[in-house]
Amino acid sequence: MKFLKQTKLDLKNTLELFQAFFKDLPIAMSLYNSEGKLIDAKKACLDLINVFDVEEMRDFNIHNDPNMPIDVKERLTKGETVNFEIVYGFPKNLESKNR
């Protein structure tokens, strides 16, 4: 019983650490479940795609993202954890307005 209590406490501490890390890290990042549904997105991610509330993205499925490389989609389909970056190009007039 003591082992179970310690395990639950360790899990709670790990979750709190992850949540603080996710919340405070100043990069554009989003998290998805195994079905590709959005779990959460950082403010920097929402700002990047000009979305004001994460609820606006709830129907987005990462498996259907046309920007995602095919090899990453294949790995996701196999249930693998993946990390990848996408470089988005923005029109020059938008870039100059945001400087």
Q: What is the sign of the dihedral through the CA atoms of 62, 66, 80 and 74? A: positive
pLDDT in tens, 47-96: 888 888 999 888 888 888 888 888 988 898 888 888 877 776 655 434 43
Which pair of tokens denotes residue 21?
A: 């890390």
Start-to-end C-alpha separation, the chain? 58
Q: What angle do CA 24, 25, 29 make, to 5 degrees?
A: 120
Q: At 67, is the secondary structure helix, strand, or coil? A: coil
pTM of this prediction exceeds 0.75:
no
- The predicted-structure confidence for 8-49, as pLDDT tens digits, reads as follows 898 999 988 888 877 777 888 888 888 889 988 988 888 888
Q: 61: closest CA among 73, 71, 43, 51?
A: 73
